[in-house]
């Protein structure tokens, strides 16, 4: 048992709180090896007992109330890769999913026991010579469209500003200008794999 689990166990024993007991059960359900591996990466790790967990586990479609066992909040590609490697080391016993903008109609971004959250990965940079923009997977359509528009560029994309660039591009990306320019995916040059 880790120090955090021990502290949680003591708190639950003293408080007799059902919510606390559920949080403890969830924490214990994740293999210790995985918890230790994630802790060693330096990535921010949120368990159901953590304060930010509820906000981070809320999908756009409120019909779903996902309850991942842990949410990791990376701030760099290296932290994403390290987190993915930790889950891969469990040899298929633990499922991972990625939350982009959270707009999957069926909350698929939260389908894993480990969720990689994108809220701290919203970087965006322009290469004016190549007329290319590079975005991290947490960026959403609204801010991206505005930043591109300021530079005189545009892309086909959907109508909701909160939709994530990652899920949107992976699904094609259909919008008002698609008859003329095609899908967002038609203009995507490359995606970087992080593992
Ligand atoms: C209100 C609303 C309006 C919409 N409007 C349009 C529209 O006009 N045109 C259109 O084409 N579509 C539209 N969509 C559909 C939307 O494009 C898709 O649901 C899209 O997949 C959402 O992407 P997301 O990143 O926000 O969602 P998420 O739920 O975060 O992700 C969607 C899927 O992609 C996966 N994923 C996310 N990031 C990554 C990553 N980095 N690597 C691997 N997998 C990843 C997730 O695990 C999940 O399975 C709309 C959806 C909503 C809810």
Residue 128 token pair = 């004016």
- From atom 44 of ligand 1, which residue's Cα is the shortest distance away? 98
Distance 168 CA to ligand 1 centre (A): 4
pTM of the full predicted structure? 0.89
Contact 171 CB / ligand 1 (< 6 Å): yes
- Of all protein residues, the one whose alpha carbon is nearest to atom 53 of ligand 1 is 103
Rounded to whole angstroms, how far apart are CA atoms 147 and 151? 7
CA–CA distance, 22 with 73 (Å, rounded to integer): 22
pLDDT digits (tens, 9 = 90+) for 59-89: 999 999 999 999 999 999 999 999 999 999 9
Neighbours of 28 (CB within 10 A): 16
pLDDT in tens, 136-194: 999 999 999 999 999 999 999 999 999 999 999 999 999 999 999 999 999 999 998 88
Cα angle: 140, vertex 66, 50; to 5 degrees: 85
Angle (CA) 143 46 26, round 5°: 135
CB atoms within 10 A of CB 89: 13
CB-ligand 1 contact for 99 (6 Å cutoff): yes
156 lines ligand 1 (CB under 6 A): no
CA of 138 to the centre of ligand 1 (A): 11
The whole-angstrom separation of Cα 22 and Cα 181 is: 50
d(CA 47, CA 170): 28
């Amino acid at each position: 048992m880790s120090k955090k689990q021990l502290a949680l166990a003591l708190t639950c024993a003293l408080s007799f709180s059902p919510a606390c007991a559920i949080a403890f059960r969830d924490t214990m359900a994740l293999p210790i090896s995985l918890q230790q591996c994630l802790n060693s990466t330096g990535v921010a790790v949120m368990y159901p007992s953590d304060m930010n967990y509820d906000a981070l586990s809320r999908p756009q479609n409120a019909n779903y109330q996902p309850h991942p066992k842990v949410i990791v909040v990376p701030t760099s590609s290296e932290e994403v890769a390290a987190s993915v490697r930790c889950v891969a080391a469990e040899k298929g016993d633990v499922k991972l999913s990625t939350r982009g903008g959270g707009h999957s109609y069926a909350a698929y971004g939260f389908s894993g026991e480990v969720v990689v959250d994108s809220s701290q990965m919203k970087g965006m940079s322009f290469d004016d010579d190549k007329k290319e923009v590079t975005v991290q997977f947490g960026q959403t359509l609204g801010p991206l469209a505005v930043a591109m528009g300021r530079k005189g560029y545009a892309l086909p994309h959907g109508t909701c500003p909160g939709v994530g660039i990652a899920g949107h591009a992976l699904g094609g990306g259909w919008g008002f200008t698609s008859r003329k320019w095609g899908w967002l995916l038609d203009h995507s040059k490359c995606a970087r794999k992080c593992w």
